[in-house]
Chains A and B, each alone.
Chain A
Amino acid sequence: MKKSLPLIVLACLLPWLVYVFIGQSWVRILDFSLLYLMLSLGLNVVVGYAGLLDLGYIAFFAVGAYSYALLSSPQFGLHWPLLVILPIGALCAGVFGVLLGAPTLRLKGDYLAIVTLGFGEIIRIFLNNLSTPINITNGPQGISEIDPLHVGSFVFNHSSALMGISVPSVIHIYYLFLLAVIVTIVFSYRLEKSRVGRAWMAIREDELAASCVGIHTKRYKLLAFGLGATMGGLSGGLFAGFQEFVSPESFTLMESVMILCMVVLGGMGHIPGVIVGSLLLSVLPELLRESAGWQKSLLGSVWVDPANLRLIMFALALVIMMLLRPEGLIPSSVRKKELHHE
């Protein structure tokens, strides 16, 4: 923990450096990458620790986001305070995690992946269609005019002046998200080193042997689904308040795949790996987005649409990774030994 102090200091200075030297839009990108980091940490509990391949994880982000949206917007005329709805959203997502996890307990590997993928899509389709007969989610238009993130009279989404220095809203948001991320990291780390985390990893390694030392495997799998989903739900609530708008199209299968890639790229089940993986994969695509400008100046015209370039790079990165470093960029030393021995 003490070793991470310089990192925390760096993380606190980063938004100012980026703001001053690059620009506000990049601080916004950092804000989003912190949300992705929370999602990755949540999925890491399910995939990395318990070894349950979940391809519908974004659904819990959606549940968290819609919980916030419904309880804090003109949709139902509710405007509950942040400190009430964030936990409610996280809890709702956790409950959904358990409910969707329960029918999949007997499934493994590919089969589990396909069923969770289906569940993820079902949630999105529900959000898309729950506008009739009673309008709950407002369908594909989504919910707008969501209350911004605020505590008392302090609104994170508005810029403020601190001792004569004006602080842009994206930096407030950054610190709020950073706080949430640090809490999530500390909790994840403690879980990993605990009796609970070891039970998950035992299930990942050998479910049968785990049950023979007395681990109630079903209960622990549900616990992993539930806790992972709770982290996703928290992230979703923050997302809704940050955007002040949610719609079903933010919660597609592609997003689930993206988060899984973040977890896998850095090194599953290993928190530093997950952090690096998710930061890389949320910042790199944004760099590529700017490549249209470079292409024009270097080659005279835009040769490859940046959106496609992003996907190509993604696919290439994953294929190369799987070939050269299947254990992830920053693996736990265990996995590295294992994968390079065989």
Chain B
Amino acid sequence: MSNILEVNAISKRFGGLIALNNVSLVIPQHSIVGLIGPNGAGKTTLFNIITGLYRPDQGHMLLLGKRLPVGQAHEVARCGIARTFQNIRLFGHLTVLENILVGRHLRSTASVLGAIFNTAHTRQEEREMRDKAFYFLNYVGLSHRAQDYAKTLSYGDQRRLEIARALATEPQVLALDEPAAGMNSKERQDLAQLIQRIKEEGVTVLVIEHDVKWIMSLCQQVSVLHFGQVIAEGDPHLVQNNAKVIEAYLGRGQHHVA
């Protein structure tokens, strides 16, 4: 299996704090890869660097062997990486449908002139976009809420809408930052199924989660971050029994891994 994404020796500091220290990861194509680690380990920071929200101080990333642009989120999205956020970031005053339509931005071309003069091409594209948008809404089971404002959705529905918006960009890699946070066990199960389905469609999924059991059953590969460093990676069960990981989670002893 080839690697879709390679993260090479990424470092990032915020003032005196080293959030990521020489982090490297390889993400195999068509897999679900978990990223775990205690609070403040640097998981979200790594996502932010991969998706171009932050610029790394060192290191680079390769997507299918090609250098990924750094620090330019819209360019990264164009390359085929979509994401969700730890604290849901929807377009609250837009409808559910419009949120997805915004997600189709890269897959459509209407310009200002096309819009102003309402050209045949624009109208045609708009119709196609709507059909596509409903496809993604159906995919996550939200088409009955299409005309409601995103703000009015329940927490779980907002999470699913955010995933649908990311899927609407038709990404190669989908990065989910704690998608299961705040969900009950039934919702977690449904979410795991959804992620499984997304993977089966050929999308590689990178997922951050604190619930170790949930992630171990979902992922083919897990990486553990601790104080900005990868302390273990590979097969979920081997990782789970790794001494360093147990120590990081249970906090035994004050000395952390150098």
Contact A190 B106 (CB under 8 A): no
Question: Which bracket fits the contact residues of A?
Answer: 20 to 34
Contact A205 B94 (CB under 8 A): yes
Contact B115 A202 (CB under 8 A): no
| Residues of B in contact, count (CB < 8 Å) | 44
Counting CB contacts under 8 A, is B146 at the interface? no
Contact A205 B112 (CB under 8 A): no
Stretch at the interface among B14-22, B34-42, B78-86: B78-86
Contact of B102 among A191, A208, A210, A338 (CB under 8 A): A210
Task: Kindly provide the distance from the CB of B78 to the nearest chain A CB, expressed in whole angstroms.
Answer: 5
Contact B53 A205 (CB under 8 A): no
Contact B110 A194 (CB under 8 A): yes
Question: How distant is the Cα of A223 from the Cα of B111 in the complex, in angstroms?
Answer: 11
Prevailing SS type, chain A contact patch: helix
Q: For residue B73, which residues in chain A have a CB less than 8 angstroms away from its CB?
A: 208, 211-212
Q: Tell whether A338 pairs with B149 under 8 Å between CB atoms, given A191-B115, A206-B91, A212-B53.
A: yes
Contact B78 A214 (CB under 8 A): yes
Contact of A214 among B109, B152, B169 (CB under 8 A): B169
Q: Tell whether A194 pairs with B115 under 8 Å between CB atoms, given A211-B73, A212-B73.
A: yes
Counting CB contacts under 8 A, is B189 at the interface? no
Counting CB contacts under 8 A, is A227 at the interface? yes
Contact of A212 among B51, B109, B122 (CB under 8 A): B51
Task: Kindly provide the distance from the CB of A186 to the nearest chain B CB, expressed in whole angstroms.
Answer: 8
Q: For residue A195, which residues in chain B have a CB less than 8 angstroms away from its CB?
A: 101, 105, 108-110, 115, 125-126, 129
Counting CB contacts under 8 A, is B193 at the interface? no
Counting CB contacts under 8 A, is A199 at the interface? yes
Question: How distant is the Cα of A190 from the Cα of B89 in the complex, in angstroms?
Answer: 27
Contact of B103 among A194, A206, A213, A227 (CB under 8 A): A213
Question: How distant is the Cα of A202 from the Cα of B89 in the complex, in angstroms?
Answer: 11
Segment 71-125 of B: residues with Cβ below 8 Å from A? 73-74, 76-78, 82-83, 85, 89-95, 98, 101-103, 105-106, 108-112, 114-116, 118, 122, 125
Q: Which residues of A contact B (CB under 8 A)?
A: 187, 190-191, 194-199, 201-202, 204-206, 208-217, 223, 227, 334-335, 337-338, 341
Given pairs A197-B115, A202-B91, A213-B165, 4 additional interface contacts (CB within 8 A): A195-B126, A201-B102, A206-B92, A212-B82
